[in-house]
Chains A and B, each alone.
Chain A
Amino acid sequence: MAKKTIRNIPQERTAMPVQEPKARVRNFSEVALGYSLAEALNEAERCIMCPQEPCVKGCPVEIDIPGFIQKICDQNFRGAYDVITDTNLLPAICGRVCPQESQCEQVCIVGDHLEPVAVGRLERFVGDMAVAEGWSNEPDIEPNGRRVAIVGAGPAGIACAADMAKAGCEVVIYEALHRPGGVLSYGIPEFRLPNEIVDDEFGKVIELGVKVECNTLVGRLFTIEQLREKMGFDAVFIGTGAGYPTFMGIPGESLNGVLSANEFLTRCNLMQAGEFPYKDTPLHMGRKVAVIGSGNTAMDAMRVSLRLEAEEVHCLYRRSRAESPARAEEVDHAEEEGVIFHWLTAPVEILDDGNNNVRALRCIRMELGEPDDSGRRRPVAIEGSEYEFEADMVIYAIGTNANPIIGQTSNLELNKWGYIEANEQQRTSIAGVFAGGDIVTGAATVILAMGAGRRAARSMKAYLGILDPVEMAVSDPERPRIFGIDARQRNYRRVRVAA
């Protein structure tokens, strides 16, 4: 076959089939339906297999992206799955929730001239096929007698657990909620990430022999120190996340009808409050909902509100659309579904109806001034621009802080904001205790947390003296050389010399 170039590949990025906005706001089924076989093959052809492979470096877990795309081109889908799961056990989840546009797809060479290859959609295609076909890859695991405890069954913990189990350790994940998954279960709604997918991919971690103990509040039931000293764990990974919601401190926040996006989403996703009263958890949905903030969590809260039949859903954000931290695709989806955006608007007070319920917000208009520390232009209030805005439910989605319980109950070093101090190897101030994900970095993404979990697993293995073949080569200071040639650089060709 002719070598693929920018000129001879399909020029248009293959569109993702989606449920029509009008239909989808009436249901919780997935919005993005996933590629068909033909669509996946067409999109896979758009990868020119460039030798630089910038996408691999752009991926927090360094998936061999051209490798799996080539397998799709070859119609060897099982092979594609094998390539992905070498580094990422959860392709159906990551294909859906990774911000590919700022990772692999951002650096794609095709993207210099055309739309970049839709890596995320292809990853999801392979992941979904694996779910449908029931594929799983169980490596040969040789038990090494080491015991590892993982605190928190979210993305970071799951990734770390999988790697340590593959290395032969006995792994126990402790989870405070009654269901594993962390933000995948309580936060991200069904129409973006179906629970079935979470269950299926998490099931693959269980198949590696990982034990999960739900309803276990580490820190209070037993401490990090007790895990190491009394409970016989050789190493501990902490991935407890950053879910402590922020409020603004304006008057009226204690009114009924004001809640954090976390509470709203937890009630809806984890507790299925949308099915009240068949299920017991209430929500008391508003008719006119105002969501404060414009990140992915805000988009999730607004789109759930629409599906729970709010009459109007408004987004109030103090900056403009360009500064919105949400993925562009999420903002587009929310807009298509009927969310009304109020850019450059900030609430200054929440007003009550005389019965302790929210009646309205007092808002102020903003304009953008000089750039701040984050490089984004700082919003400045326009004096005298205050006005009232009617709403009966106010949802705060303006960010979260470190979950506090581990910090409260251990001697781990924390930074001034309460996040756990960890170095690039994810080591904390206590030997044998590692941490990663949002509890170290602050709120970020699922894939970054998974990357941190895998990094922690690598240094945990080094700490425990477990060397698997790849790591051995990398960590060996005296690299094996044949006639002065580094065998791993692959910059030579093996030739058979006749006897």
Chain B
Amino acid sequence: MYEIVAREDFSDSTFLLEVKYPLLAKAARPGQFVIVMSNADGERIPLTIADFSPERGTVTLVIQAVGKTTMEMQRRCIVGSALYAMVGPMGKPSEISKMGKVACVGGGLGVAPVYPQARAFKQNGAYVIGIVGFRSRDLIFWQRKFEDVCDELIICTDDGSAGIKGLVTDGIAMAVDKHPDIDEVIAIGPPVMMKFCAEATRARDIKTTVSLNPIMVDGTGMCGGCRVSVGGEMRFCCVDGPDFDGHQVDFDELMRRLTRFREDERAALERWQRNPGCRLEQEPTASE
């Protein structure tokens, strides 16, 4: 139903899926996300849209295989297969304001979804500084794509094997030193990264927008699992976000809430890893 038309593996844990859903590809805007189910017994997982092409009628997702569901997807989502469900575009689109100068910061899984934002700002006439972080040189992806839409691109690697040695926050420090007139920083990545990006810009009071990724079920405002504290108020990420003012977000609370199902996730993964190939053998038997 939601056919996978292309796939690319960036590393042994990160992979890209291009999924056919022409209406969604036409409606999607930077900053929005989708919820997918890989199979009928699967869980609903939110994924930020990494790219979309109305021409090809496809939506691109970049997925990191970290748990049972994503590892199973890494194994099974081959070109020609299909997802059981994909719904979206969810969340409010990012506000691509008419800023003069912006820094688009992506780390880990956030590298991909920050790309459409960089592209949109570029199309709006902004001066775009891309700051992307990877562990090492061989994990870098989309460098050309970023170079095409960024006026400057700062690549940060943990081991210094490419670009500067350091974290994206070091890249932000570099950028703001060189460009004191940066109007806005957009940061997408793991919560801890976004937290430190927001800290890095707080002193200079640079508007910093982050894209949150809490646990959710329906994505339409009905479960409340994705509630986050922003400026002391409870907000639902799925319908009030996913973009929020990074200086107002309680990241520590978000990170605590992301551990809600840690034990269950670990158990599911271990169980799956014992016999990853076959779903049938995992069904309960009469004696169980």
Q: Which residues of A contact B (CB under 8 A)?
A: 176-178, 186, 214-217, 220-222, 243-245, 247, 249, 253-254, 256, 259-260, 262-263, 266-267, 270-272, 275-284, 356, 400, 403-405, 408
Contacts and interface: CB of A to CB of B under 8 A. Distances in A.
Contacts of B225: 259-260, 263
Contacts of A256: 256-257, 259-260
B286 to A, nearest CB: 13
A335 B236 CA distance: 34
B223 A281 contact: no
Given A176-B87, A176-B220, A256-B256, A282 B32 contact: no
A438 B244 CA distance: 29
B284 interface: yes
B12 interface: no
Given A263-B224, A271-B44, A403-B221, A282 B259 contact: no
13 contacts: A221-B27, A245-B224, A247-B224, A263-B224, A277-B264, A277-B267, A278-B41, A280-B42, A282-B261, A282-B264, A356-B259, A403-B221, A403-B222
Contact of B86 (A215, A271, A283): A215
Nearest to A275: B284
A221 B234 contact: no
B85 A405 contact: no
A263 B214 CA distance: 14
A283 B69 CA distance: 15
Nearest to A247: B234
A222 B28 CA distance: 10
B282 to A, nearest CB: 6
Nearest to A220: B89
Contact of B222 (A243, A253, A259, A408): A243
B43 A280 contact: yes
Contacts of B283: 278
Interface of B: 2, 23-24, 27, 32, 37, 41-44, 68-69, 84-90, 92, 217-225, 227, 229, 234, 236, 239, 253, 256-257, 259-261, 263-265, 267-268, 271, 282-284
Nearest to A276: B264
Contact of A284 (B27, B227, B257, B264): B264
Nearest to A245: B224
Contacts of B88: 217, 220-221
Given A280-B268, A284-B264, A214 B259 contact: no
Q: Is the interface of A mostly helix, strand, loop or mixed?
A: loop
Contact of B221 (A178, A216, A244, A281): A244
A263 B217 contact: yes
A305 to B, nearest CB: 17
Residue of A245, A277, A280 most packed against chain B (CB within 10 A): A280
A284 B217 contact: no
A214 B86 CA distance: 10
B24 A178 contact: no
B223 A245 contact: yes
A442 to B, nearest CB: 15
A412 to B, nearest CB: 16
A247 B227 contact: yes
A259 B87 CA distance: 23
Contacts of B259: 256, 356
A284 B87 contact: no
A487 to B, nearest CB: 49
Given A178-B87, A220-B32, A278-B283, A405 B220 contact: yes
A264 B242 CA distance: 22
Contact of B268 (A214, A254, A267, A282): A282
B244 to A, nearest CB: 15
B223 A263 contact: yes
Contacts of B89: 217, 220-221
Contacts of A280: 41-43, 68-69, 268
Contacts of B84: 178
Contacts of A279: 41-43
A404 B221 contact: yes
Nearest to B87: A215
A159 to B, nearest CB: 21
Contacts of A271: 43-44, 217
Nearest to B42: A280
Given A215-B85, A220-B27, A254 B224 contact: no
The 9 A-B residue pairs with the shortest CB-CB distance in the complex, in nearest-first order: A243-B222, A282-B264, A263-B223, A280-B43, A260-B224, A178-B85, A215-B87, A245-B224, A281-B43
B194 to A, nearest CB: 18
A7 B265 CA distance: 64
A267 B23 CA distance: 28
Contacts of B221: 243-244, 403-405
Nearest to A246: B224
